[in-house]
Structure 1
Amino acid sequence: DYTEDYIQTGPGQLYAHSTRLFAVDGVSVPYTWNHTITYDSTKGKMPFLVETLHASSVATEYSPLEEAVAFKIHASIAKGDRSNQCPAGFGLDATGPYCSDEDECAVRNPCSHTCHNTVGSYYCSCPKGLTISADGRTCQDIDECALGGHTCHAGQDCENVVGSYRCVVRCGNGFRRTADGFSCQDVNECQESNACHQRCFNTVGSFYCGCDPGYQLKGRKCTDVNECRQNVCRPDQLCKNTRGGYKCIDLCPSGMTKAENGTCVDIDECRDGTHQCRYNQICENAQGSYRCVCPRGYRSQGVGRPCVDIDECETRDTCQHECRNTLGSYQCTCPAGYRLTPNGKTCQ
């Protein structure tokens, strides 16, 4: 079943159109048709500006003898939904009244390029190289390169331009097409991409990376070389690695250290507590070293052993009369009626 709208467009003239969906291989496809009917204007006009034809019960009969197919259809016509209003695309002509076609191209110019008026509607078209977009009004470029509609040969690339395309030379890696598209020129990666860490050397079609002195290349990155692992300094020197280089520092003798001015100065082991003197030994600093000595009145028993008291009273003539030994010293005494002289040894 389907319907068609009939519009009175003038004396003795009707315009009919309809749109339907048909299933083709399981896919719904829209079909639109229209036609203009002319008749003897003395017959009058439709009772309404718009009437709708309803068609149903379509049947076919085939006659084998006559080799003919007969169609039967039940149809009726009545006023349309808006029987006294002109549909879209038409304007009211009060002289009839009729529904005269509206020239959308002249009134609204809805197309981006070329507009074609039709009865009750319009359609847009595009110049060569362009195609109508989904909105049916604007034109968009046809990418002949992507769609394969070009004639470029092997060794050429297709470059799309608005409304057309052009065939340009194909350039390898490290090269770029010139503006005219006919030749290739080298790309200076060192200037354009800064692909290297420190130093970049451009070559025809490529490039390679390098490093500053004291660095080595790993991939495209430069890392510091530890020259101290290569024994670059004398045995009597200390090697200190620096970024991109190294320093050889003269060593000081044992017991000496490097001053800020670079000279070797003595280390006072007695003051900084790095000496090995033990027990009741006394530390005496020396140039580049130190020594452990016993206090006065004591004598050494050897390295790592405490100092022992010296018994001065065992020595003859220590005192004139009686001698009394003390730790680290001694004391002279006198008999009754005598006193010790200032020298601490004799009596008077």
Structure 2
Amino acid sequence: MLWICVGLLLALFSHVLPQEAHEPISYSCTEGYEYDTVREQCKDIDECALLDDACKGGMQCINHFGGYLCLPKSAVIFTSQEGEEMPAQDPAPPVPAVPPNQPQPPRVFPDSQRRHSPLTIHCAPGFTADEHSVCRDIDECATGRYTCGAGQTCFNTRGSYSCQCPAGYQRNRNQCVDVNECETQNPCQHHCYNLIGSFMCQCETGHERAPDLVSCQDIDECSFSSYMCQYQCINTPGSYSCECPEGYQLQSNRLCQDVNECETGTHNCQDDEMCWNYYGGFRCYPRNPCETPYTQTSENRCICRSQTECQGLPPSIVYKYMSIQAERPVPADIFQIQATNIYANTHNTFRIKAGNEAGEFFLRRSSNVSAMLVLTKPLSGPREYVVDLEMITHHLTMNYRSSSVLRLTVIVGAYAF
């Protein structure tokens, strides 16, 4: 009877088990892994392949067991294998699947897979890993890890450093030697002179260095002083020239000298005219200036021979001409008159009879037979003044008075030279 019961239980048990074997069984993996139905075990997820933007800022994505790392592109990754370091190129090891509601086993891998851990970071030369396993540049200049020569300056670069010489020098092996900028660069516009560690530019005559100290700019000599030229200064590249107005010629490269057209024959006076030169030009006057009732007795003297026609008129008129520059300083003695005939027991007086309405002149008696015409105001030209200077003679014994007139034509030039 006991065997029957046992056999019945076995039959019932064998009937139940097949039903339970066909029920589906699910498995779960740790984070960073997924279940492989073919191999029936968990395998690592390659996030670097699945996620396009797994890492930001130009960092490179390195797949890791159950996750991934974002490292600089200069980082070199090695994994340890029994004390050796090899590039981590093998795929991540699979992890056995665990049924649900079962405690997950600790992540301990077989010896064949244990070679992939632990993970170590080796940075490229010039970089070092920080506490976050990120490769950072080494500042060799700040840490003193450089070998610059005397006089050279250390400049840190990404992953290295450079040694530079001061301006005007260049490296020759481990020394700084002078650069001859005049031969290598020719920086000056005109003339270059090499100096130790530098150079100097000089400009040609009539030029000066521009603010950049290498270019040359023209010197405007005309702006230095109004005395550069007597009349007009013309600036030219590297120099200047003086010009004179019409009627003048340049003398000594600065002064203007009047051209005497009457002597050079460059006038247009007629045969019956007299050419009179003045400062800057010429005038043509009739050779016979006498008007009725006067007749000409000499080149410049006119006499009235008819007492009836010349009543109230001076018995004689003498014509004179003179030239002066414009703006002449005053007072200035400009013309002297003197009696040609001297008689005993006579007394002479002098006066300006006409042509001095604005008071430009003053006649000062010098002696009994002479007087001086004085300029009292600066005159502007070109202009012509005609002044009648009269000498009155008193005959003391005969109680007789006579007069004569000197008609002076004063021609004022256009300029003060």
Same fold (TM over 0.5): no
Hey, which of these two has a bigger chunk of strand by percent? 1
More RCO (CA 8 Å, sep 6+) = 2
